[in-house]
Amino acid sequence: MHVIESGNVAAATGVKLARTQVIAAYPITPQTPLTEKLSEFVESGELPAEYIPVESEHSAMAVCIASSTAGARSFTATSANGLLYMNEQLHWAAGARLPIVMCVANRGVGAPWTVWNDHQDTISQRDLGWIQLYCADHQQIHDTVLKAFKLAETVSIPVMVCYDGYLLSHTYMPFDRPEQEEVDVFLPPFKPTRYLNPEEPRNFNTVTLPDVRPDIHGNMAPGYMEIRKTLHTDLRASLAEIETIDKGFEDIFGRGGEPFIETYRCDDAEFVAFCLGSLSYHLRDVVDAMREEGIKVGVMGLKVYRPFPDDAVKKALSDRKGVIVFEKALSYGNQGALYADVKSALYSCESRPFVQNHIVGLGGREIKTEHLYAALTESINNQAAFGDEPRWIGLKM
């Protein structure tokens, strides 16, 4: 069915079609309409789920941890400082290997207080052990929610579905909503292998000693360090699962084929603008204008940020002349986090493109097409002029 709705409703529709069993809800702009829509689905009987309003984001994640540990398909959503308030529980969810899915409508972080869009909230949480997926339009939001549940339950790692606040969360765009029967084929009911069960009492996530030790059966059990290595190893291995799930989704719904990087006019591109989220669609207008001038430039939007798809990035970028990274976040005291990751991925390549960094749109600062055009043009024409420091687009002082 063809639907025209907001990005938040696209996400909520995906959560409903996933037959989610537990929803923990706490309002925060610009995520609130998502959980409000889910409350309508539950109240109307369209979604037979437990809808649990809580007193804080910390409690929202605590509810998801409890319900997921009990074997229920669990979901919540948040933004900005709400995501940061969850921080302790986010680490717990990853360490406990719980397949929770959470949408984050990206928003700048206070102080100073802002309700507008950038990516500082999720980028600052990139080292939690969660998988992070980024969306560029409403169809991707809807589809990525469904893929996220499949992925989380396959690899037993929680997943964030990230999309731009207001630019996507509140705007109306068309998307195709599949039939429930099709979704049920792609995403069968959740069948956990380990969960709290009164018939088989057990402890979960008790205090773990630094070293390995025998368990109650006398078998050697991993210590804290081994558990952390396993999470890291499984995160890296989840890249293969992302490809498999994307292929399975494409076979059923006809959408997919670019699991890691969405490309635009890149087949012969000598220069590539590289970014996350809806910015990749904004940059398409710039690329079209530069193509008319005979400049071979394209856009790539990264869809999977954690685990970082090094091999896909190297394959996509290593034979270009230049990569210009635009991002709406900063690793304070260093440079753009995405920029650093791209450079790291390309470091081992025998022949590397030049890589430059532009910081844009922090706190909702307007990103003008003319500014993107000027920045991309200057980067291409002055390839070695800027060094390793990020350049700031749209500063007024």
CATH value at residue 43? 3.40.50.970
Residue ending a domain, among 186, 203, 238, is 186
Q: Which two tokens stand for residue 391?
A: 């350049």
- Report pLDDT for 341: 98
Q: Which two tokens stand for residue 250?
A: 């494409």
Residue 235 lies in a domain: no
What CA–CA distance (Å, rounded) separates 87 from 14? 25
Residues 165 and 282 in one domain: no
Residue 192 lies in a domain: no
Residue 294 lies in a domain: yes
Residue ending a domain, among 126, 153, 186, is 186
Residue 244 lies in a domain: no
The DSSP secondary structure of 96-163, one letter per residue, reads TT---EEEEEE---PSSP--S--SHHHHTTTTSS-EEEE-SSHHHHHHHHHHHHHHHHHHT--EEEEE
Residue 57 lies in a domain: yes
Residues 152 and 275 in one domain: no
Which range of residues forms the domain containing residue 63? 2-186
What CA–CA distance (Å, rounded) separates 393 from 352? 25
Q: What are phi and psi of 390, to 5 degrees?
A: -70, 145
β-pair type (22-25, 74-78): parallel
Asked whether the beta carbons of 137 and 172 are under 8 A apart, the reply is: no
Q: How far is CA 291 from CA 165, 265, 271, 323, in A?
A: 30, 9, 11, 16
- Per-residue pLDDT tens, the chain, 397 aa: give them: 899 999 999 999 999 999 999 999 999 999 999 999 999 999 999 999 999 999 999 999 999 999 999 999 999 999 999 999 999 999 999 999 999 999 999 999 999 999 999 999 999 999 999 999 999 999 999 999 999 999 999 999 999 999 999 999 999 999 999 999 999 999 999 999 888 888 888 777 877 878 888 887 888 889 999 999 999 999 999 999 999 999 999 999 999 999 999 999 999 999 999 999 999 999 999 999 999 999 999 999 999 999 999 999 999 999 999 999 999 999 999 999 999 999 999 999 998 999 999 999 999 999 999 999 999 999 999 876 677 889 999 998 8
Domain count, the chain: 2
Residues 37 and 161 in one domain: yes
β-pair type (304-306, 261-264): unpaired
Residues 288 and 152 in one domain: no
Residues 174 and 283 in one domain: no
What CA–CA distance (Å, rounded) separates 337 from 327? 8
DSSP one-letter code for 331: B
CB atoms within 10 A of CB 53: 14
* Residues forming a β-bridge with 273: 299, 324
Residues 304 and 176 in one domain: no
Residue 290 lies in a domain: yes
- CATH at residue 345: 3.40.50.920
Q: How far is CA 107 from CA 125, 244, 273, 289, in A?
A: 13, 31, 22, 30
Residues 375 and 292 in one domain: yes
DSSP one-letter code for 211: S
Residue 213 lies in a domain: no
End-to-end CA distance of the chain: 48
pTM: 0.97
- Report pLDDT for 194: 84
Judged on CB neighbours under 10 Å (0-12, 13-18, 19+), 264 is middle
Judged on CB neighbours under 10 Å (0-12, 13-18, 19+), 115 is middle
Residues 182 and 265 in one domain: no
Residue 222 lies in a domain: no
Residue ending a domain, among 156, 186, 216, is 186
